[in-house]
């Protein structure tokens, strides 16, 4: 099956019937109707629908090199700057639809699996079979429009045992045995975003050390979500309600995160990309340009989210008539400066792109790693600015039912804005509230702050890969003599 | 009735039966059992109970100068530094109980009404009757342990009409007529915190300009909550659930805010403190030392909240074993620096206190106005630090029902901390989440940011009242010759 | 004369013999040998020399459309994105030479005069002669490689009188009379950077209001520096010494700023670009795209300066062996993030360029106005980071003479770095000190903070011109229904 | 000799004739007349003079318990809160005189030596002689009003060898041999502030590790500045000129820093406080409460400096008429908030003081360690605010000679302020410039940023000693069950 539409996405999820837990209960019946998922699923479905619509098709698909079918453009391995631009246009169309609020819109994992597929030859020398598995899996995802999730964080105690350089943690994820059918794996992985509403999951944790010849903690693989022994345990849902008028964001964009528990899950051999060799595992994640390609997508998302922020900021300014206040204009200009910087980093990453050793056109890593350092620092400030401009308007938020009740006239009379009726004004502030102040906003904040690691990790990634630093230091040396 | 206990507080509220709206429905039946209020009411009741308990009585009450009964210490007009210290000890006892999360614990309005009562002579020259009303009302509140709320913000359009210096806004609050029974008032006021769970409400808005001899927009008065024509329209409730294990904060400390609508409410003459004279209204709020006395209470609260933040930060450090990370210690030290600064400002305000013209011992305004500028800036940073240390632990928050279900063992196995079992660790992170990342946290952030006005307003209050600035400028002039 | 070389630049300055004051004394004899100017003049001369050198000529000049001679590329009116790129390459060559430390390297005013020339038709309708003057002056500067300075700030009391909307300030700059020879002008203007070492000066202040038909305060013109009645009064020189080893920056890059005093100076009619009409004056500055073209140059400079900062930061890290410290790497990554953002904004301004109404290719204003908001905020942080990494090494700075004296061996022994000898290390720290901590650094900081106005002004320029804000607000409105 | 006066201070310095190097030349003749020192020496002399003046004597001296003579109050070992207050009053008198710009006004080292003397019994058990030496040295300093400097930083390579845990650095400071006369010491120490203008120097570095029984790198002692083999090599002088009108700060408050080089210096046995035992060395610095007592003095200084900042800020506001600008008032209020916080921390440190194990009244360490974390972060912001308000006024700074020359009238006409004549205004801005933007300001910034170590070190000191953190974490634990 080439590109799928929303209905096919929904049907496949319900047919899969994965083992999912929410709030102490196993999800029975169609997951796509469950209150914690239905809004999100409808949004994702609308994204898949776009691919096939006349308005978007040519900008969102390309012809598969193997099947000749139309496949999703975010699977495209870029070979030119034009390809990068096509990818960006496609991703921005989706991002505009979900305002950058979905971290796991399909293009993210499509891009990830494209990056791994394009770099599969890294695995060839020592593990030709794994290289083959990787390439085939990329093709399989592309040709079947697989909705993929991933998990790559170890539980805290396992991480700690790594840090302590001990191997005593009995609960660290590991390959328990190797059978004819595949690797038998047990353990847990943190934070599969949209894990419960995906077809498959990519498991790709950092390796713990081991003294064994075949490190049982070093592995990467992808499996269907409904394999026996695989459980998805969801965090608390942050859907505040189904009403789009009252909860314009959480009713549609609440991506659930899940703990993935594997209990003697049998991973088929052809789904294994790395096993037993921690050096290869590290090398593959570092040298496959995964972070670079992924950030090209991530930045499209961050821009769309920042545009929503600016749209809300400007709407508040108009509604409350704040243009005369210099402290307000300074804050709006701060949002604009952030937005322009993000857009510029994206454009620069393409303008300065270079082909890598496999002929893939690689966006400029420095621009993108800088964006990885920048966004976690500015996102809380963007939320702060919305709070500072929204002020008491973010507290006094009645809802749609209030307006429809007998006190509606009071609200209409006393909560109106400058040339804005009260109901529209309240809806604007409810949107601003969900965006900046609510539990939904809090999770968005956390998500962005730690997307590719904490500040130390993203700083180190930028610093280490920043080759110009030596050139510039050399130039300084020239000034000293 | 002297000090009341929790039961009396509850009974009085239910008997009052004020006209309250939540989520498009009028509250029928006992408000103290309503899901949006019951947790808060129980907390407030426990505060009232403390007053009469042997452990606290001597530190929380004093003997009424009129009735000889024990009355609440936060009503005490301080005449010495020791009185200030007694007030602080009393207020800290309550703050410790609610961790500074209640902005309208009873001592806040008790303090406010004490300040107004102590300064009532400001009204004497032109309006001896109003001065008398003010004093009597203070005594009435003290002797009856009245639970008071207040509203002092105008709706945006009314504010704007003030700014524009026009009087055309038909919906601005005003006195419609003056009858034998009292002033007939219509209009709306924003953000009566705990308005729906108070006995009475103090209405004290800034005056709009008027060309009339008797400015209909200039007034201040206090009325019972259940007067005919008075409606309280609540914002969305942020109680996430009744379970204290899952929602340790919002289940107990969610203070509801309300829009107060007055529709031809008759305010008895003896409840009027100012009317018709905008100059007197402004002068009374500025010169009564209300902000100074109130901030002495507010600072106790801010300290208790910051102590909770530090307790959570240190608990996370211990649970995740983070003491070896310099970037973590720097953040913890930042919280400590904030806490020590706040504590020092409180101590200094007492050490530098001076009696005012009426013999009331006035804490040092500069220390306190500085705290008003400081806290709105640090509270978002405190929340940021909790987020930065909590990280993914704030996302993966299953609840109590998950632990009790058949997946409980998985959670216990994979979510444990360093020497902390998983359930305790998850509870800690749920507390940290409610404190820093949830909708409850968002409202706390807004509340502190705008407590006594926005940054321009609190800065201006500090600057204008900072008499030392002229001394220091003069000293500089001495250096220039 | 087409492009000039360094010697010609020097000769012309000395021949001009303008009326310049430094430290209470009039400069007599060749200004280019004066201690306050000689280092700067040598640097500027080396820039002019580059234009004619084989290594650079083709990248730094183009063929004059009128004379056929090679003229400076920063005079080129861009008509394509390629032209913008050529301009950027040229400007970056100069910026690399002076490390972005010269705000008035020749390309800045060349660009300014190009922008005004290209937009001269704005003046055509009401003042065809002024349009003609403007165009001819641009051509004159280009064909004669004129070194131009400018002054556009009013003295504080004149500004204040504008703010107060009074016209009583007797010392506000004004046209005193209009004679056959020209306009007779008196008054003072602030801060002509490199004013004392330029051939000519462009005077272009904001207009003060007037009730006269011909506003005597509204004018713009350019005149030779040595006209009778024109005095240049310099601020204190910040050249710390001539030794490049000890003062690698201030010995070469100290741009003097001057107060320009006009006392009945006769401005020839053909040098007048605007007179008498404050609306035209404002319109010309706003609509000529001056800020946009100028910022394209300014950003090249800011990037070169930031590269120097990063070079110094990395050199300190290498010299002290600091790579293992996470707090150091976070700071270095912060510098990199700033540098990448600036580079990206420059690239984006070209990638998104559009031709204006006169066919000039206009870099994207939003990218560039964002850079105007960004740089004043980051430059102090960049200096902070150098201080934080340099630490005590920035205090203990002996000089070259110390090393050459009998205590040299002590210094060589005790001040060496990790694999760096003491003298080289001290030179590095002296460079870092001049860049971050010295009076020279302080003036650089001030210069960048206020380059195009204070924060309110640059924020307002970005906000007002940001057309996307309405599109984004409209999109938000679409989400509310 | 009890308290000395300025003349005695000067005479003693000149008589001492220490071996001092400045700018590649050995200082010959009276050091107190040398351009790099004379302004500073005059300021220090005026401080010593104050002690004996009628106006101050009773507030600045107390009766020596041994000689009965008046001795300096900063030598007083506090035994009550009143003693702490007396100490604070005395130190503030000196700080007001030098505006907090002298880090080594005599009270700093007087306080340090008092702290060490009061805690000398820490050395008693293992080294009774050293305890005795310490006590006697304290008494000697007090009774002779010794001007003391100290050095406690190792050169970078020595520090690095400590970090690397190697002992190979041949140039690390060490005891070379032990003779009848004393310990023979060689090595260098960084940054003896006012080292060249002191009578004696305390050498108290952190110990490097050693495998020897008697660690040659572990020592602390005090010696006269003029011992054979002791050289003081000064950094570049930042005195910009002798004119107090032009350089009101650097002409008077430029504290020189020096590298102390010891070449086989013989330290008399009775001047040794610790030797050979790195554990004792560390314990003594940590447990003597040196940091606490010293910070009580330091905070007086930081307050005086912040008061100068605020005086300058307010003077600029008055001179330029800026009170109507909200962004200006916010900045002034920020300075006030910082000042009030610092003052409060000082007051709180006394209010919460407790006697230590030796009966010395110890100010509250948490308040003071918090101040150590706070000031390095706010001092750059204070300087920023002065720059942001001073703006172009900090660039256009002519000097006194300009005003006296024939262009004086031009300056007087065009540089005047709102109701301030030009000369006074320029002097104000020159003061602001020296305080915020000059090389003198840069060194002040560095000095404060690293006074008691970098951010990691001061944070760790606060965190480690903050006993309340466990109480607060325990309280949180109580909320989780």
**Residue B399 in this model has a pLDDT that exceeds 60:** yes
pLDDT exceeds 60 at position B389: yes
Q: Tokens representing A478? A: 């020239």
Identity of the residue in B460, B472, B480 whose CB atom sits nearest the CB atom of D424: B480
Mean pLDDT rounded to a whole number for chain B: 95
> B318-327 burial, b for 16+ CB within 10 Å, e for fewer?
bbbbbeebbb
Q: Which residues pair with D70 in a beta bridge?
A: D63
Q: Which pLDDT belongs to residue B160?
A: 62
Q: What is the percentage of chain A residues whose pLDDT exceeds 70?
A: 98
The residue ranking higher by pLDDT, C157 or D407, is D407
Segment B306-310 shows an average pLDDT of: 98
pLDDT of residue D154: 83
Long-range contacts of the stretch C453-456 (C-beta < 8 A, 24+)? C454/D388, C454/D391, C455/A330, C455/C373, C455/C376, C455/C377, C455/D327, C456/A326, C456/A329, C456/A330, C456/D327
pLDDT less than 70: residues of chain D = 1, 159-169
pTM score of the predicted model: 0.97
Assign B146 to helix, strand or coil.
Answer: coil
Using the Cβ of B354 and the Cβ atoms of chain D, whether some distance falls under 8 Å is answered with: no
**pLDDT given at position C216:** 93
Does the pLDDT at position B462 exceed 90?
yes
Backbone angles phi, psi at B248, to 5 degrees: -60, -25
* Residue range C399-456, pLDDT digits in tens: 999 999 999 999 999 998 877 899 999 999 999 999 999 999 999 999 999 999 999 9
Name the pLDDT band for C161 (thresholds 50, 70, 90).
low
B171–A401: do the CB atoms touch at under 8 Å?
Answer: no
Cα A306 to the chain's mean position, in Å?
Answer: 15
Is C176's Cβ below 8 Å from some Cβ in A? no
Backbone angles phi, psi at A459, to 5 degrees: -65, -45
Chosen for mutation from C20, C233, C440 (greatest number of chain D CBs closer than 10 Å) is C233
C340: contact with A, CB 8 A cutoff: yes
Residues of D in contact with A326 (CB under 8 A): 326-327
Average pLDDT in the A82-90 region?
98
Ranked by mean pLDDT, the top range of A414-423, C20-29, C149-158 is C20-29
Q: How far apart are CA C4 and CA B468, in angstroms?
A: 59
| C:D CB pairs within 8 Å | 202
What is the C-alpha separation between C347 and C85, in angstroms, rounded?
9
Any alpha helices (H) in A36-155, and if so which ranges?
38-52, 57-60, 81-98, 106-118, 128-144
Task: With cut-offs at 50, 70 and 90, classify the pLDDT of residue A168.
Answer: low
With contacts defined as CB-CB under 8 Å, which chain C residues touch B331? none
Q: Do A405 and B188 touch (CB under 8 A)?
A: no
Q: Give the pLDDT score at D168.
A: 55
Mean predicted lDDT score pLDDT of chain A: 95
pLDDT of residue C73: 98
Q: Beta-strand (E) ranges in A181-256?
A: 182-193, 200-203, 215-224, 230-234
The pLDDT tens digits for B70-84 are 999 999 999 999 999
Structure tokens belonging to residue A168: 């005593």
Give dist(CA B106, CA B44) in Å, integer: 8
Measured distance CA(A47)–CA(A42) in Å, rounded: 9
| pLDDT at residue D153, as a whole number | 81
B318: closest CA of chain D, how far (Å): 9
* E strand intervals along C55-159: 61-63, 70-72, 148-151
- Asked if A132 contacts A122 with a C-beta cutoff of 8 angstroms, the reply is no
Cα gap B231→B195, rounded to integer Å? 10
* Distance in Å, alpha carbon of C331 to nearest chain B alpha carbon: 12
Question: Is the per-residue pLDDT at B155 higher than 90?
Answer: no
- Chains in contact with B, counting 3 or more C-beta pairs less than 8 Å apart as contact: A, C, D
Residue A414 · residue B188 · CB < 8 Å: yes
pLDDT score, position A257: 97
CA distances from A261 to A12, A185, B420, C123, D140 (A): 22, 10, 20, 74, 72
Question: A43 falls in which pLDDT band (50, 70, 90)?
Answer: very high
- CA nearest to C327 within chain B: B327
Residue C164 has pLDDT above 70, yes or no: no
What confidence tens digit (pLDDT) does each residue in B170-221 have? 788 999 999 999 999 999 998 899 999 999 999 999 888 888 889 999 999 9
C307 at interface of A, judged by CB pairs closer than 8 A? yes
Looking at residue A163, what is its pLDDT?
47
Whether the CB of A333 is below 8 Å from some CB of chain C: the reply is yes
Q: Count of H helices and E strands in chain C?
A: 18, 14
Q: Determine contact, residues C251/C39, Cβ cutoff 8 Å.
A: yes
Residue B97 phi, psi (nearest 5): -70, -40
Q: Residue D98 and residue D101: Cα distance in Å, rounded?
A: 6
Closest residue, chain A, to C423 (C-alpha):
A480
Determine, for residues C398 and D153 on separate chains, whether the beta-carbon distance falls below 8 Å: no
In three-state secondary structure terms, B224 is: strand
pLDDT value for D123:
96
Q: What confidence category does residue C2 fall into, taking pLDDT thresholds of 50, 70 and 90?
A: confident
For residue C341, what pLDDT band results from cuts at 50, 70 and 90? very high
For residue C163, pLDDT over 50 is answered with no
Mean pLDDT in residue range C381-398: 95
So what's the pLDDT on residue D353? Answer: 98
Q: pLDDT class for A210, splitting at 50, 70, 90?
A: confident
Mean pLDDT for C211-232 is 95
End-to-end distance of chain B based on CA atoms, in angstroms?
67
Confidence at A250, pLDDT banded by 50, 70, 90: very high
Q: Which of B308, B333, B466 sits opposite D462 (nearest CB)?
A: B333
Percent of chain C topping pLDDT 70: 98
D401, D417, D445: residue with CB nearest C23: D401
- Alpha carbon D108 to its chain centroid, in Å, reads 6
What confidence tens digit (pLDDT) does each residue in C122-148 have?
Answer: 999 889 999 999 999 999 999 999 999
Alpha-carbon distances of D465 from B386, C26, D367, D370, D456, rounded to whole Å = 21, 62, 11, 11, 14
């Amino acid at each position: 099956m080439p590109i799928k539409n929303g209905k096919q996405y929904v049907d496949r999820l319900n047919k899969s019937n994965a083992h999912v837990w929410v709030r102490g209960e196993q999800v029975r019946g169609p997951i796509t109707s469950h209150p914690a998922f239905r809004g999100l699923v409808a949004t994702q479905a609308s994204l898949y629908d776009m691919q096939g619509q006349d308005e978007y098709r040519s900008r969102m698909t390309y012809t598969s090199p193997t099947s000749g079918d139309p496949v999703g453009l975010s699977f495209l391995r870029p070979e030119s700057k034009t390809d990068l631009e096509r990818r960006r246009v496609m991703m921005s169309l989706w991002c505009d639809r979900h305002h950058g609020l979905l971290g796991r819109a399909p293009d993210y994992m499509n891009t990830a699996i494209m990056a791994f597929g394009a770099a599969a030859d890294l695995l060839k020398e020592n593990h030709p079979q794994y290289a083959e598995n990787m390439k085939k899996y990329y093709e399989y995802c592309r040709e079947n429009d697989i909705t993929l999730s991933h998990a790559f964080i170890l539980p805290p105690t396992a991480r700690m045992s790594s840090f302590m350089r001990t191997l005593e943690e009995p609960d660290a994820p590991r390959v328990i045995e190797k059978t004819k059918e595949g690797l038998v794996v047990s353990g847990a992985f943190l934070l599969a975003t949209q894990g419960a509403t995906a077809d498959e999951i990519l498991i790709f944790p950092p390796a713990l050390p081991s003294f064994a010849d075949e490190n049982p903690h070093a592995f990467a693989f992808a499996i269907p979500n409904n394999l026996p022994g695989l459980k998805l345990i969801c965090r608390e849902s942050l859907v505040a309600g189904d009403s789009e008028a009252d909860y314009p964001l959480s009713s549609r964009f609440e991506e659930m995160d899940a703990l993935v528990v594997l209990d003697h899950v049998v991973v088929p051999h052809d789904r294994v990309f790395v096993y037993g060799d921690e050096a290869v595992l590290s090398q593959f994640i570092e040298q496959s340009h995964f972070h670079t390609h992924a950030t090209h997508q991530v930045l499209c998302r961050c821009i769309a989210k920042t545009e929503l922020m600016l749209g809300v900021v400007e709407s508040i300014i108009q509604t409350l008539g704040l243009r005369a206040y210099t402290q307000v204009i300074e804050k709006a200009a701060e949002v604009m400066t952030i937005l322009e910087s993000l857009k510029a980093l994206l454009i620069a990453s393409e303008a300065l792109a270079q082909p890598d050793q496999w002929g893939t056109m690689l966006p400029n890593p420095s621009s993108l790693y800088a964006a990885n350092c920048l966004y976690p620092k500015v996102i809380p400030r963007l939320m702060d600015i919305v709070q500072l401009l929204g002020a008491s308007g973010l507290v006094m938020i009645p809802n749609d039912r209030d307006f429809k009740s007998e006190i509606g006239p009071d609200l209409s009379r006393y909560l109106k804005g400058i040339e804005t009726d009260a109901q529209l004004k309240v809806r604007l502030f409810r949107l601003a509230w969900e965006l900046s102040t609510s539990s939904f906003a809090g999770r968005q904040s956390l998500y962005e702050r730690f997307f590719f690691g904490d500040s130390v990790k993203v700083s180190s990634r930028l610093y280490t890969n920043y080759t110009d630093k030596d050139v510039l230091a050399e130039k300084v040396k020239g000034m000293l003599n």
